[in-house]
Chains A and B, each alone.
Chain A
Amino acid sequence: MRNAAGFGGVRGESAASAYGLPSVERAVLLLARFPGVGRKSAQRMVHYLLRQGRGEVEQLLVALQNLAEQVSECRICHNLAEGEECWICVDPRRDPQQLCVIEEAMDLLAVEKAATFQGRYHVLGGRLNPLAGIGPEQLHLHSLEERLQTGTVQELIIATNPTVEGEATAHYVAQLAAPWVERVTRLAYGMPMGGELEYLDESTLYQALAGRRPF
């Protein structure tokens, strides 16, 4: 009989540490934690860095250190910021009467890319999901309410994702905002411009059809 446990143990170790490269292995494991990065890609990145030499590695080191030390959350809108407030909150050209509520800072970048919105943002930091233990207390809703209480905001645009959690969050935000804001709106969803009908998934098409409007 073979020793199954011992055999599995040796095979379970990765090639790198088995060959005495624990530093390489550690870097691979850390990089493989990134979203969308598997072990293979992580290995490729590490080997790229090793080939590039010390200069490149140190540059990355500094960049990461700056990231950790200088990037934090905007104290007003919870966007990413270098400093107390983010580049949008400090920009006097941004209209304080329009406020767009989004789930994550990544969503802000997406709305910004569209480049038509001239108002300001509020990042919730997630969406309601009781099963994952995320209730209103876990989101940036107190600070939102405080911003609304000043009476500056005339229109609140809710741009949470069109999932059921996003919709529930939108409903909660709308109720919270109702006493303070004249106009509460929700992003329309439906067919993407430039998209071709035949490539749309059934659910998008269904929603677009359900939400059709007179021409």
Chain B
Amino acid sequence: MVAAKDGSGAGCVKSGVVMQLERLQIRDFRNIAQAGLHWSPGWNLLLGENGQGKTNVLEAIGLLASGRSFRRATAQVMRRQGAAGFALQAEVVSGGLRHQLLFTAQGTQQQLQLNGKGVGSLSAMDQVVVAVVLTPDGPALVRGAPEERRNYLDWIIFSHQRSYANLVREYQTALRARNQLLRSQCSDGRQYEAWEEQLVALGAAIYQARQEMMQQVARRMAHFLEALALDPDGYGWQLAATEGSGREAEADQPREAYYRQALRYHRAADQRSGSTSIGPHRDDPQFWQGKRLLARFASRGQQKRFLLALKLTEADLLRERLRAAPLLLLDDPLTELDQDGSSRLLRVLSMGSLQIFIALCSTEGLAWPGERPLRRFQVQEGTIQPIA
């Protein structure tokens, strides 16, 4: 009780627990034969021409943080040409403790170790290191297929609620089962109903989780939109009306009832197409500028600012849940931004307590605001050298 009133205690919580990558050793990863890197707790700039290996460094950090490649590459693709496998070893300070992380890949086998012990599930990693990533193909999130946005939204939900993965997996199982009935021209209504009821219950739970996350993100985003000179009230994240599905949900109809009705109603048409046309697997969580699609009506520069605000919000939500700031990995973040956009981004980044890793071709004309420590690295043909 006394401790709770103590000023220094409260201040500690407010400033957030540090999550910091201190050292990283790379062996036989992509075009990097060997590297030993000592990182700054603030800015880390990876500089060099394209194709030299900047993104590979970010990918390595992302792999340690999430257990997967943000380029969706397999272990065999990521190992250096001619090598049997690769190894990434990191020292992370998190929650006042120092942790050893080791990611190894040998052939098709890969393993993540935390302080010498194998890590079975990703949730064990939450307390140690988490990263938010922006890649150059980030704009595909705004302009690409609905699947990109669904996957991204599901990933955010999953990073907040690990059991969400089971929900999605079970939904996929029920979906495949119904599709199989459709394709085999099954005419047994009771069988359809048995599987559709699973789609109804699981689908409604997924819908609910997605609605809540989109609303939460949209609310939190205002601050970052403003910092990047976008109207904080003008943007949103909402499901686009599914085109041509014929039967829309009524305003206050419970989702379960809607799915139940719609699945039954579309059975015959679905049988002709051989796939299920209704449900969260067909939803498009779209980004909006007022009532218009961001992808269609906003300029590239506006889209890019929006995307950056989205990523910063993602990091902010994670910080709240983990009570520690995640690492921020930005690959070429200034493309499609004008001078004003770039300096605004750097300013908003300098205000947080995130440890930031940025890959850039050059820093020409860029001012690094704030007093946070900064370290530069030159990346050339797979070798990484600190710049004094």
Contacts and interface: CB of A to CB of B under 8 A. Distances in A.
Contacts of A129: 177
B180 A168 contact: no
Contacts of A176: 190
30 contacts: A128-B194, A130-B177, A130-B180, A130-B181, A130-B195, A131-B177, A131-B180, A135-B186, A135-B191, A136-B188, A136-B190, A163-B170, A164-B171, A164-B173, A164-B177, A164-B198, A165-B173, A165-B177, A168-B177, A171-B193, A171-B198, A172-B191, A172-B193, A175-B194, A202-B123, A202-B162, A203-B163, A203-B166, A205-B163, A206-B163
A205 B163 CA distance: 9
Contacts of A202: 123, 162-163, 166
A202 B163 CA distance: 6
Interface residues of B, number: 23
A175 B173 contact: no
A171 B194 contact: yes
A24 B193 CA distance: 52
Contacts of A164: 170-171, 173-174, 177, 198, 202
Interface in A158-182: 163-165, 167-169, 171-172, 175-176
Contacts of A165: 173, 177
The B contact surface, by secondary structure, is: helix
Nearest to B173: A164
Interface string B41-52: 000000000000
B197 interface: yes
Interface in A169-200: 169, 171-172, 175-176
Contact of B194 (A131, A168, A203, A206): A168
Nearest to A209: B163
A9 B184 CA distance: 43
Interface in B163-201: 163, 166, 170-171, 173-174, 176-177, 180-181, 184, 186, 188, 190-191, 193-195, 197-198
Contacts of B184: 130
- Residue picked from B123, B176, B193, B197, most chain A C-beta under 10 Å: B197
Interface in B260-276: none
A131 B195 CA distance: 12
B198 A167 contact: yes
In this complex, the member of A135, A163, A169, A171 whose beta carbon has the largest number of chain B beta carbons within 10 angstroms is: A171
A145 to B, nearest CB: 12
Given A164-B170, A167-B198, A175 B193 contact: yes
Contacts of A163: 170
Given A128-B191, A130-B184, A172-B190, 17 more contacts: A128-B194, A128-B195, A129-B177, A130-B177, A130-B180, A130-B186, A164-B170, A164-B174, A164-B177, A165-B177, A167-B197, A168-B198, A171-B193, A171-B197, A171-B198, A202-B123, A206-B163
B163 A168 contact: no
A175 B180 CA distance: 21
B166 A168 contact: no
A168 B200 CA distance: 11
